[in-house]
Amino acid sequence: MKSAKAVLVIAMGLTFAAPVLAAPDDSQIERGHKVYDKWCFPCHGTGPGKPGTDSLKARGQNPAVLEERTDLTAPAIKTFVRHGVLFMPMFRKTEVSDADLDAIAAYLTRNNKK
């Protein structure tokens, strides 16, 4: 297994690689929104006590709220979820299934420039 730091470096690169894949449909995005709200929002959402958002902000990521990003890519999102980064842990398939992960990726890339 790659070290988390190595994964981070790769994943950071992937966020800017931005390959354009087939556009997800609305139902996939809607499912992704629900999964995101359950699993990601408590750390990456808005409001007080969101350590993921706070960490990204402190490290100069703008916008720090993931839902507002337009440069995330599906491979990067999947790498972060499955490998973790810094204090973000890995997520198992009993928590976020591969299908749910595809949906999260569809949701977080919905506003990317086509």
Partner 1 sequence: MRVPPGVTPKDFSDAIKQWQEAIGTDWVFTSDEDTDLYRDSYSPFWHEDVEPIPSAAVAPDTVEQVQAVVKIANTYKIPLWTISTGKNLGYGGSAPLLGGSVVLDLKRMDRILEVNEKNHYALVEPGVSYFDLYRYIQEKGLKVWIDPADPGWGSLIGNAVDRGGGRTPMRDHFDAHCGMEVVLANGEVMRTGMGALPGSKTWQQYRYGFGPYVDGMFSQSNFGIITKMGFWLYPEPESYMTGTIAVPKHDDIVPLVANLAYLMNSGIVLGTTTVGSPLNFVRDPALAALRAKPGGASPQELEQYAAQRNLPYWSIELPFYGPAKVVAAQWQYAKQQFSAIAGARFQDGKTTTFPLPADAPTQFPASVAIGVPNLAVFGVGSVRSEGHIWFSPIIPMTGEAVLEARSVFEDAYREMGMPTGPMFFLGPSSNYPRCFLVLFGFPIEHDVEKNRTNREHFKRLIKIAAEHGWGEYRTHTAFMDTVMDAYSFNNHALRRFHETIKDAVDPDGILSPGRCGVWPKHLRKAQA
Interface contacts to partner 1, rule CB under 8 A: 1, 3-5, 38, 42-43, 45, 47-52, 54-55, 58-59, 82, 84, 86-95
The candidate with the shortest Cα–Cα distance to 103, out of 48, 26, 20, is 26
Nearer to partner 1, 3 or 113 (CB): 3
Alpha carbon 85 to chain centroid, angstroms: 11
Phi, psi dihedrals of residue 84, rounded to the nearest 5°: 75, 170
Q: Which is nearer to partner 1, 23 or 51 (CB)?
A: 51
> Nearest approach, Cβ of 93 to partner 1 (angstroms)?
6
Q: Which is nearer to partner 1, 64 or 108 (CB)?
A: 64
Closest to 9 (Cα-Cα) out of 88, 76, 98, 73 = 76
Closer to partner 1 by CB, 87 or 113: give it.
Answer: 87
By the 8 A CB rule, do 88 and 45 touch? Answer: no
Least distance (Å) from partner 1 to the CB of residue 88? 8
Minimum CB separation from partner 1 for residue 67, in Å? 14
| Distance in angstroms (rounded) separating the CA atoms of residues 84 and 34 | 21
